[in-house]
Amino acid sequence: MTTILIIIAVLLAGILAVFAWDRDAFWERIAGPADLGRHDFTLGKRRPVPNDALACSPSACNGQADVTLPEFDLPPDEVVRRVASAIMSGSEPAKRVDDGRDPAYARFVIRTAFMSYPDTLDVEAVQLAANRSGLRLYSRSKLGRNDLGANKARLERIAGRL
């Protein structure tokens, strides 16, 4: 019995050491790549579990937004550049993961501060009438079934920096 407890303790210590040393790699080993891929805003689909949040300019989304964003008197690519700057200057570690081919779109993997949980954030700006742009942001968690409002709070912080 003592031998089994020692083996369990050593295994737990090893897991904790790997987690403490490189949390990002730890979560990738557990759940796969952090990037959830591009979200298709035209479908208006949300996740079936409450671990996502949607922010939109009023005329830019088909779905029910959790956070309302303004329209902008800028071209879509400039809106995305400004949002990207707001994300990268935020308090959560963020990495841009899209290929950069579409100037009106960006995707980020953002890590929570303490546990380094990976979330994917899509940013898309669309051309509206009268040379205005609408903005769509969709943040979703890789892990868990309920984010306790973390994604919505993130989108509200980003909106406050625009």
Domain map (residue ranges) of the chain: 1-32, 33-160
Measured distance CA(51)–CA(142) in Å, rounded:
9
Both tokens assigned to 130: 């009268």
Exposure string for 93-105, b = 16+ CB within 10 A, e = fewer: ebeebeeeeeebb
Q: pLDDT (tens digit, 0 to 9) for every residue of the chain, 162 residues total?
A: 788 877 887 777 666 655 555 666 666 767 567 788 999 998 888 888 889 999 999 988 876 899 999 999 999 999 999 999 999 998 898 999 999 999 999 999 998 877 778 899 999 999 998 899 999 999 999 888 888 899 999 999 999 998
Taking Cα atoms as reference points, which of 142, 148, 128 lies closest to residue 61?
128
H-helix or E-strand spanning residue 95: strand 94-96
Q: Domain spanning 33-160: which CATH class is it, in words?
A: alpha beta
